[in-house]
Structure 1
C-alpha cells in the first residue's frame, strides 16, 4: 500500500506554490522503448524468431508476473536462448518493428527546443541504438541518450549476455536511473530553473520509473493507463507522440506567461517533494495531481 501522506498546512501550500511560481521548469523527457516508441517489443521479436520461441517466452513472462522468478533471471534465460549473429537477428526486427507515427516529429521538436530526450529501458543498449539509427537516421539517433543494459554479443551469435546496470533482481533499476538524472539536472539548472521530469510509458513495468516523474503520459488502452484508472493515479493518456507534444507545448507556454508576470495558475504538485520523501518501492507513481490550490493536468483530447 502507498505510504500515507499527511495533509499540508495552508502556510506550506502557499510557500510551495509561491516558490514554484517564481521558477521556470526545465523539461526533461524519459520514455520507455518497447510498446511506447515502437509498437512491438524488440526482445520478443528476437526470442520468438531466433530464440526460445513464443510459447516458452509466454511461460517465462508468467513466471515474472507471479514472482516465481526474478526479471533478471528470466531475462538471462531468454537472451541466452539466442544463437544468431547480431546482424542476422536485426533483419527480422527491421521488418517487424513499427515506430509511433508521430515520434520523429516529436523528437525534432525536442531538439529544436533543447528538451533532453532519454530512452530508459530494461533492454540491451546495442539493440536499441541500432534500431534508432535505422528508423531515425544516425544524426537524429545520436541526440537520444539511452539508459539501458549493455551486452556482450559474440560475433558468431553463439552468446548473448546482458551486462546489467545494477546488481539487483531487476538488472536495471529504472527508478534509480531517473533519480540520478534528476540530481544531475538539479546541479546543472541555471537562472532559477527547476527540473520537470516527464515519463512516457505503456506498461505496469514502467511504474518504478513513472513513480519518479512529475508528469506521467500513459499510452491509451494499454496496461499502464488501465492501472492508473484502477488506482486513481493522475496521468495524461496519449494515442501518439503528437498528443504528448501538444501537452508539453502547453506546459512551456504556461511557464512563459508565468515568468512574464501574468500571474496565471501553475500546474504544480505541492505534494511532490513530500511524496518523494515518503514513497516506497510499492507506492504508486508520483505525478502531477489535482490540488485545491493548483490547476491539474487535464487529459489530452484525442
Structure 2
C-alpha cells in the first residue's frame, strides 16, 4: 500500500495535520464515565463494578469480559439509557475550549472509546453542539437481542469492535495506522485517558496524558510507560500549545509527568 492510499484510509489525515489528538471519552472528555454511571445506578452497582476494574488492572480478567458483564447488568431500554446519560453526564469544563482551539489550529480530535458509539455521539451532540460532527468517533456498537428491539427491556447487547481482542476495542489498532506512516507525513500523536479501557493505547502515542488520581497512572508507573499528568483539559491545552509552539517537547513533557508521579503530585501514591 502506497503512502497516498494509506493516508486516504485515515480520515484525520485529510488536512495534512502535523499533530493529532486521540482521546478516550468516558471520564476523560466527560467528568463521569457513562458506562460506570449506568452500572452503578441502573446495573449491578458500584462495588461489583469497581472490583471488576481492579481485577482487570491485576490481570485476573480481561477488559472485554469485565465490560460485557457490566453492560449485561443494565437492562433498561437503550433509548432510556441514552436519556438518563444525557440528563446526568457533564463535560469537562475546559474541553469545549480545547476543541475550539483544535479546530482553529488543524489538530484533529479522534475519540477512541471502549463505550458505545450511539451513546457517545448523542452525548457529544448535546454537550458540544453541531461541531461535534467534526470529531471522529471510533467505539463499540450495540444490537438488538434475538426477538427483541433495542428500545425494550433487556432488548440490547454490546457488540465489540474487536471481539477477538481481550480489550473489546483494541485502540492500538487505530493508533498504529497513524504511527506507522512514513516519517515525512506522520503527525505527532497525543492521547488522553484515565483508566483500564486505555491500557491498549498507553504505549502507542508520542505523549500520553493520564488523568490525575486514576488507574491509568498506576498502570503506567508499574509498566514504565511515559506519561504526563492532567487534571482537566485546561492543563492539556496549555501543554499542547507549548509543544506545537516549539516551547517544549513531548519527551520533556513525559519526563515532567513521571517526576510529578514520584513527587506524589499525580494523585496516586508512588510505589
Say if 1:157 and 1:107 are closer, same or farther in 2 by CA, change over 3 A.
farther
Kept in 2: contact 1:197–1:214 (CA 8 A):
yes
1:232 deviates by: 5.6
For residues 230 and 60 of structure 1, what CA distance do their matches in structure 2 show?
19
Matched, 1:108 2:104: no
Say if 1:64 and 1:247 are closer, same or farther in 2 by CA, change over 3 A.
closer
For residues 58 and 238 of structure 1, what CA distance do their matches in structure 2 show?
22
For residues 83 and 221 of structure 1, what CA distance do their matches in structure 2 show?
31
For residues 230 and 254 of structure 2, what CA distance do their matches in structure 1 show?
17
For residues 207 and 231 of structure 1, what CA distance do their matches in structure 2 show?
10
For residues 51 and 210 of structure 1, what CA distance do their matches in structure 2 show?
29
Alignment length (residue pairs): 239
What does residue 250 of structure 1 align with? 242
For residues 209 and 103 of structure 2, what CA distance do their matches in structure 1 show?
20
1:157 deviates by: 3.9
Matched, 1:99 2:91: yes
Map Cα deviations across residues 265-291 of structure 1 (whole Å, 9 max, x no partner). x83xxxxxxxxxxxxxxxxxxxx446x
For residues 53-132 of structure 1, what are the structure 2 equivalents within 5 Å? Answer: 53-132=45-124
Kept in 2: contact 1:45–1:92 (CA 8 A):
no
Larger Rg, first or second structure (1 or 2): 1
Say if 1:222 and 1:59 are closer, same or farther in 2 by CA, change over 3 A.
closer
For residues 225 and 213 of structure 2, what CA distance do their matches in structure 1 show?
15
Secondary structure in 2 matching 1:142: helix
Say if 1:62 and 1:231 are closer, same or farther in 2 by CA, change over 3 A.
closer
Matched, 1:174 2:166: no
1:247 deviates by: 1.6
Secondary structure in 2 matching 1:209: coil
Kept in 2: contact 1:82–1:159 (CA 8 A):
no
TM-score between both structures, scaled by the size of structure 2: 0.76
For residues 246 and 148 of structure 1, what CA distance do their matches in structure 2 show?
27
What does residue 13 of structure 2 align with? none
Matched, 1:151 2:147: no
Counterpart of 2:40 (choices 35, 48, 70) is 48
Matched, 1:27 2:19: yes
Kept in 2: contact 1:47–1:78 (CA 8 A):
yes
Say if 1:44 and 1:155 are closer, same or farther in 2 by CA, change over 3 A.
same
Counterpart of 2:127 (choices 107, 127, 135) is 135
Say if 1:150 and 1:99 are closer, same or farther in 2 by CA, change over 3 A.
same
Gaps of 5+ in 2: 1-15, 145-149, 266-271
Kept in 1: contact 2:63–2:166 (CA 8 A):
yes
Say if 1:59 and 1:175 are closer, same or farther in 2 by CA, change over 3 A.
same
Judge which range, 230-239 or 113-122, deviates more: 230-239
Gaps of 5+ in 1: 1-23, 256-265, 268-287
Counterpart of 1:215 (choices 200, 204, 207) is 207
Say if 1:298 and 1:60 are closer, same or farther in 2 by CA, change over 3 A.
closer
Alpha carbon RMSD of aligned pairs, Å?
Answer: 3.0
1:233 deviates by: 4.5
For residues 239 and 66 of structure 1, what CA distance do their matches in structure 2 show?
25
1:73 deviates by: 2.3
